[in-house]
Structure 1
Amino acid sequence: MNVKETARPLTVKELPAAERPRELLLAKGPAALSNAGLLAILLRTGTTKESVLRLAEQLLAKHGGLSGLGGLSPQEMSRLKGIGPAKAVTVVAAVELGKRMAALAAGERPVVRSPQDAAELMLPRLRYEKKELFIALLLSTKNHVLASPTLAVGTLSASVVDPRELFRAAINHNAASVILVHNHPSGDPTPSADDIALTRKMTEAGRLLDISVLDHLIIGDGKYVSLKEKGIL
């Protein structure tokens, strides 16, 4: 007698490589994911007919996008086929955490008004790094730090760091401006020709999108160089 295999929901691991949000988050950080990709990580599995990414897209479409999830109860979310109580509770809990973070007083977020402010914020994070990291300080209209994602790791150049990654992160966080930051593991923060070329490339791209690149800081061992203070930016 032939035993028919029971259909089961599709998991994130069974998605094509280009559609695996967990791997993308680990490789490039959460800012690189779409809203559906982030939601798919929370949902974990799809249905027997739809991948988890498609299920996430359906949930967003049904409720008018990300903002529509904010007022949903688990019961309302569970009306979509493939969203059971456990998935609905997970998403509602994540949304609530997001609301609480957004409700933090602006004064609790770091404010960057000068290259020194940015350097004091980033020196402890980068001073002892053995690899070169490229980080974006994403700022609000009042210069509060919204996020500081790492966008590249390794030897940096204008051809390696993609402006699309930087400005995708800025747009996702509704940033008004950005400060570029990277470290020199040698300890010497003197800018290289590649550093200057990268700065100019990012600045030109920012003008097209109306997102200002305020500065590019290079962090060394207990010291830094601001390309704005040097008159390069």
Structure 2
Amino acid sequence: MISTSLRSSSHDLVQAANLEALARVLPVRGQRDTARRLLDGRSLCALARLDASALADAGGLSPSSALRLARVLRLGQRILAEGGGGIGGGSQGGRGDSEVHADRPASAARWLMDAVAGCEVETFQVLLLDPRHRLRERLEVSRGTLNASLVHPREVFREAIRRGAAAIIVGHNHPSGDPEPSPEDHAVTHRLCEVGILVGIPVLDHLVLAGGAWVSLRQRLGSRWPGEGPRAPN
């Protein structure tokens, strides 16, 4: 992943927002200091994976305060899994609907959020769709390091072809907590779309997910989207 001053500034804003949100729900005095200890080297998603005992150790909390925080974090995970959320719009609703819409990226984000929640390295996911754009299967095709996910079109389309997918939506997480697409993300998107056109399996969108938010590259690029399929509104 390529670092820029803009990405760094955006990441700082996300971290500050996470700190403020966590401090508000802590049932202790000195909330901001405790929140800083809890978030030291961790995302909110990673924090939500800790049990009450680990939260107590990380934040210096009493057992009762740690248990209360664990329950709040679990509730947040359930709300996110059921409702989804993102940057750039998209429909809301239950995750029980298996239909995935290219012009409503939140329908794909809901499925992808579950796969990447709490991941501390980049992981690249593929949603395999049938001809009616109903979700057939979700696959993880690559798991990277803290800073980069190595993905090759061969890995993405091998399973799509073998399993008879009519179209795909891809997505990956940014462990940094900043969902802003990097230049590498744009380059990968163009490569995948080009291969998708060649093999007859269009790439309908590429979502970047982080910190409970997401960015749709199809919405971001608008008329410049390099793939085929119905076009998303700007």
What is the one-letter code of the residue matched to 1:110?
Answer: S
Larger radius of gyration between Structure 1 and Structure 2: 1
Kept after mapping to 1: 8 A contact 2:112/2:125:
no
Identity of counterpart residues, as a percentage? 40
Give distance in 1, aligned partners of 2:201 and 2:112.
Answer: 21
How far did 1:145 drift? 1.0
CA RMSD of aligned residues (A): 1.6
Deviates more, 1:199-208 or 1:124-133: 124-133
How far did 1:162 drift? 1.4
Q: Determine the structure 2 residue equivalent to 1:226.
A: 216
Kept after mapping to 2: 8 A contact 1:147/1:173:
no
**Which of the residues 177, 201, 205 maps onto 1:211?**
201
What is the one-letter code of the residue matched to 1:172?
Answer: R
What is the one-letter code of the residue matched to 2:112?
Answer: M
Equivalent position SS for 2:142? strand
Give distance in 2, aligned partners of 1:123 and 1:149.
Answer: 13
How far did 1:173 drift? 1.3
Structure 1 residue 161 corresponds to structure 2 residue 151: yes
* TM value normalised by structure 1: 0.51
Structure 1 residue 142 corresponds to structure 2 residue 132: yes
What is the one-letter code of the residue matched to 1:176?
Answer: A
Structure 1 residue 112 corresponds to structure 2 residue 100: yes
Equivalent position SS for 2:155? helix
How far did 1:109 drift? 6.9
Matches within 5 A, 1:11-90: none
What is the one-letter code of the residue matched to 1:216?
Answer: H
For residues 6-52 of structure 1, the C-alpha deviation after alignment (integer angstroms, 9 at most, x for no partner) is xxxxxxxxxxxxxxxxxxxxxxxxxxxxxxxxxxxxxxxxxxxxxxx
Equivalent position SS for 2:177? coil
Q: Determine the structure 1 residue equivalent to 2:32.
A: none
What is the one-letter code of the residue matched to 1:168?
Answer: R
Q: Determine the structure 2 residue equivalent to 1:177.
A: 167
Equivalent position SS for 1:219? strand
How far did 1:127 drift? 2.8
**Which of the residues 169, 172, 178 maps onto 1:188?**
178
For residues 169-215 of structure 1, the C-alpha deviation after alignment (integer angstroms, 9 at most, x for no partner) is 11111101111110001111000010000000000011110110000
Q: More relative contact order in 1 or in 2 (CA 8 Å, sep 6+)?
A: 2
Kept after mapping to 1: 8 A contact 2:100/2:135:
yes
Give distance in 1, aligned partners of 2:188 and 2:178.
Answer: 18
Kept after mapping to 2: 8 A contact 1:112/1:144:
yes
Kept after mapping to 2: 8 A contact 1:178/1:212:
yes
Spell out structure 1 runs of 4+ moving beyond 2 A.
none
What is the one-letter code of the residue matched to 2:120?
Answer: K
Count matched residues. 124
Gaps of 5+ in 2: 1-95, 226-234
Kept after mapping to 2: 8 A contact 1:133/1:182:
yes
* TM value normalised by structure 2: 0.50
Q: Determine the structure 2 residue equivalent to 1:64.
A: none
Deviates more, 1:123-132 or 1:190-199: 123-132
